[in-house]
Amino acid sequence: MDLGLLSLPWWGYALVALGLTHVTIASVTIFLHRHQAHRALELHPMVSHFMRFWLWLTTGMVTREWVAIHRKHHAKCETPEDPHSPQCYGIRRVLLEGAELYRSEARNAATLERYGHGTPGDWIERKLYAKHVGLGIGVMLAIDAVLFGPIGLSIWAVQMLWVPFFAAGVINGIGHYWGYRTYAPNDTSRNIVPWGILIGGEELHNNHHAYVTSARLSSKWWEFDLGWLYIRLLAALGLARVRRVAPRMRVNWGRAGCDARTLQAITTHRYHVLARFANTLQQTVLDEIRALRARALPGLNDAKAQEAFQRWLQREGEALPERDLAVLHQALHASDLLRTIYAMRQELTALWSRSSSSTEQLVGQLEDWCQRADRSGILALQEFSGKLRCYA
């Protein structure tokens, strides 16, 4: 006997649960993440407040806490201060206990003070949303129970588990552990799948770490960001305004030298450049490692050594685990070719870090880098140098 106001077939209840959780995910990615944490877009107050109210009902999350913890994650990514790094806590703990890690960091007053600026502090936030976080969840439970009867308790349980598992666990855990990388920021962020549907586009986590303030998380034509689709619809209705999106890389294949436009392009798209460097040089590096392993060098005779070099091509040396660094230093000592590639990568990353140098000096250093790459005798490095000159 149905005790709720609405009587549905089993699949109707499943669709209701999926729809309600989807509104929550959309609110997390659009309001909390892209609007509040990174200021990538502006939202109409009506939309902003609806999403804030909905998150109070379905998650009990406080905007200031979520934003502060997420900003700290970017500022301290994969260091001991990262609130939820699988490299520090282990993938199992982040995946299964991500909500507990979030609550633990939310009690850190210093985190909230330093990273929680610019979030709502109006009367309703102070007196209701932030002060009575359990009340909203209780109200949602009552609504589900009244509308759907006993089955409403199951729908409510799904709502309560959805964000802690998928947002706190899957994105923060798997998004730094498994998937593909389009860009090479100095972390282990990965795109879980190219179709950001189930978690509103947050699946494209590597793209986000490369262009943190972009309102659009997709970058390739075959990637799909559902959150971005919703943002475009809101913008078309006059309910949102996009402030920033990741710029598109332009290539002029007819160019033969470096100029200020080349420098600006590789600075803006530095994580794309580093990813291209890694992809172009990877086979050359792996062939050299195999040659070193044939000489039976200690520490280079297992698959982990190969994985260490693949990670090094994607990240700065100092960000690697100690074991990877030991393997890297041993191989560099034994190979002129690897030393050359290593040095050229370090010099390339230094180009966009030299804030005291003038544009003319940096352009000259970039051209010198390309000329030395051409003279290196390493075919893959020469190929990469030719492509680098064409960025515009």
Two structure tokens written together for 114? 């330093």
* DSSP state letters, 132-179: -HHHHHHHHHHHHHHHHTTHHHHHHHHHHHHHIIIIIIIIHHGGGTSS
The chain-wide mean pLDDT, for the chain, equals 91
pLDDT on residue 120: 97
What confidence score (pLDDT) does residue 2 get?
Answer: 64
Alpha carbons 117 and 374: distance in angstroms, whole number: 48
Measured from the Cβ of residue 164, the count of other Cβ atoms closer than 10 Å reads 18
> Can you give the pLDDT at residue 200?
96
Please report, for the chain, the start and end positions of each structural domain, with discontinuous segments joined by +: 10-242, 260-388
Q: Are 85 and 74 in contact (CB under 8 A)?
A: no
Q: What is the pLDDT of residue 103?
A: 93
Q: Please report the pLDDT score of residue 317 as a whole number.
A: 59
Residue 356 has pLDDT above 70, yes or no: yes
Cα–Cα distance between 192 and 98 in angstroms, integer? 17
Residue in 69, 140, 133 with CA at minimum distance from that of residue 101: 69
Backbone angles phi, psi at 136, to 5 degrees: -60, -45
The per-residue pLDDT for range 196-228, each reduced to its tens digit, is: 999 999 999 999 999 999 999 999 999 999 999
Give yes or no for a contact between 29 and 228, defined as CB atoms under 8 angstroms apart: no
Burial of 298 (0-12, 13-18, 19+ CB in 10 A): exposed
The confidence band for 299, taking pLDDT boundaries of 50, 70 and 90, is low
**Matching residue, tokens 């698959």:** 303
Reported as a single tens digit per residue, the pLDDT across 80-123 is: 999 999 989 999 999 999 999 999 999 999 999 999 999 999 99
pLDDT of residue 329: 80
Q: What are the tens digits of pLDDT across the range 17-73? A: 999 999 999 999 999 999 999 999 999 999 999 999 999 999 999 999 999 999 999
Residue 289 is predicted with a pLDDT of 83
pLDDT at 354 over 70: yes
- The pLDDT tens digits for 227-259 are 999 999 999 999 999 999 999 888 888 777 899
Q: Hey, is 361 helix, strand or coil?
A: helix
List the Cα angle 45/48/52 in 5-degree steps: 135
pLDDT at position 249: 85
Q: What is the DSSP letter of 221?
A: T
**Residue 1 pLDDT > 60:** no
